[in-house]
Copies of this chain bind each other. A is one copy, B any other.
């Protein structure tokens, strides 16, 4: 075979900085976008409490805040809405290409992979250029177009997979209402729009999670905006990242009735299983997102919301009994599934709906990272 010898290796330079597993707690960048204060149970966008924003703002206002650094005045908001609506329209050639793609996609393909493939094709169809070849205005235009296409592409792919014709965005509806409209083909109620708007506002951004960090690593190479979002979609498709909202609902299915919640939770914990929708890597104790989503679920009402509230209490008690050393509480995923379900979103569209809001965060991070012109290239110990 081969005569190659294995050389004796010197030891690595001793001054290397060794990061803890998963880079936990390591500050890899400075950001002006947002921050998560896990110990305080608090997170913000541009220094505005994200939960307060979700209570009082539209997703377009929050997006404007994150992207441009301030909440829009009425004129700015109207102009921004028009820019987004423009970004949701595509050249005919690209629409035809995406139609063809959808028709060709093998049926077994899951919604996140459909979205990833369509967005990848969109990047080519729009002829997106490396960010470094663009002016700041061109970069922002690309960021808005790519993010604004996420709900369009994922809803179209979903409807086609159901044998339904896609429905495009309506100019008279806001961003959140359009997301529901494009999935269901029915005009949503104000109550559902309000509930989903809160969910979207709460999930626009949340620190340097795996998908956001992925988008930034890709952006650090100077690649176009779509390359970063496509990569981030891959990270979000991982079960440890974006996969939980529907699994928490699967648990509620398994629980069935409020009375069964405590025995079910005790049995799960006795079997050594993790309970989906509880506990968070950053928050020790309450997840501020779950508080508002519980309130929203209760306002929407319905048997699933009732079951969820009862189950949360029972699971809290079971966790306290089984794990007295830790405070594991409902995270964003637990009530997110309930809220999305009550708004009429099918379970397979939960993670793609998460991608709709998070794409705003990813693209804001891509623009911030691209200003750096420094490639992210860590080391490893052999």
Partner of A97, one of B94, B104, B381: B104
Partner of A238, one of B21, B223, B233, B281: B223
- A61 within 8 A of partner (CB): yes
Interface-facing stretch out of A43-51, A264-272, A302-310: A43-51
**Distance in Å from the Cβ of A104 to the closest Cβ of chain B?**
3
- In chain A, positions 17-40 with a C-beta closer than 8 Å to chain B are 17-35, 37, 39-40
- A106 within 8 A of partner (CB): yes
- B-side contacts of A9, CB under 8 Å: 35, 37, 44, 47
- B-side contacts of A233, CB under 8 Å: 227
- B-side contacts of A230, CB under 8 Å: 116, 120, 230-231, 234
The reply to whether A123 and B132 contact each other, CB–CB distance below 8 Å, is no
- B-side contacts of A74, CB under 8 Å: 1
- A109 within 8 A of partner (CB): yes
- B-side contacts of A44, CB under 8 Å: 7, 9
- A83 within 8 A of partner (CB): no
Partner of A217, one of B33, B98, B132, B214: B214
**Distance in Å from the Cβ of A289 to the closest Cβ of chain B?**
16
The reply to whether B4 and A56 contact each other, CB–CB distance below 8 Å, is yes
Give bound CA distance, A159 to B130, whole Å.
Answer: 24
**Distance in Å from the Cβ of A150 to the closest Cβ of chain B?**
15
The reply to whether B57 and A376 contact each other, CB–CB distance below 8 Å, is no
Partner of A53, one of B2, B109, B133, B207: B2
The reply to whether A1 and B227 contact each other, CB–CB distance below 8 Å, is no
Number of copies: 2
Give bound CA distance, A370 to B217, whole Å.
Answer: 19
**Distance in Å from the Cβ of A141 to the closest Cβ of chain B?**
17
Encoded as 1 (CB less than 8 Å from any B CB) or 0, chain A from 103 to 117 comes to 111101110011011
Partner of A28, one of B125, B214, B379: B379
- B-side contacts of A243, CB under 8 Å: 130, 222
**Distance in Å from the Cβ of A71 to the closest Cβ of chain B?**
6
The reply to whether A208 and B378 contact each other, CB–CB distance below 8 Å, is yes
- A235 within 8 A of partner (CB): yes
Known: A12-B27, A23-B28. 9 other contacts (CB 8 A): A4-B52, A9-B35, A9-B47, A23-B379, A29-B381, A30-B380, A98-B104, A222-B240, A223-B235
**3 nearest CB pairs, A to B:** A221-B238, A109-B124, A100-B104
Binding site for B on A (CB under 8 A): 1-7, 9-10, 12-13, 16-35, 37, 39-40, 42, 44, 47-49, 52-53, 56-57, 61, 71-74, 77, 93-94, 96-101, 103-106, 108-110, 113-114, 116-117, 120-121, 123-125, 127, 130, 132-133, 207-211, 213-214, 217-224, 226-228, 230-243, 281, 372-382
- What are 5 A-B contacts defined by CB distance under 8 Å? A7-B49, A17-B26, A18-B27, A101-B104, A114-B124
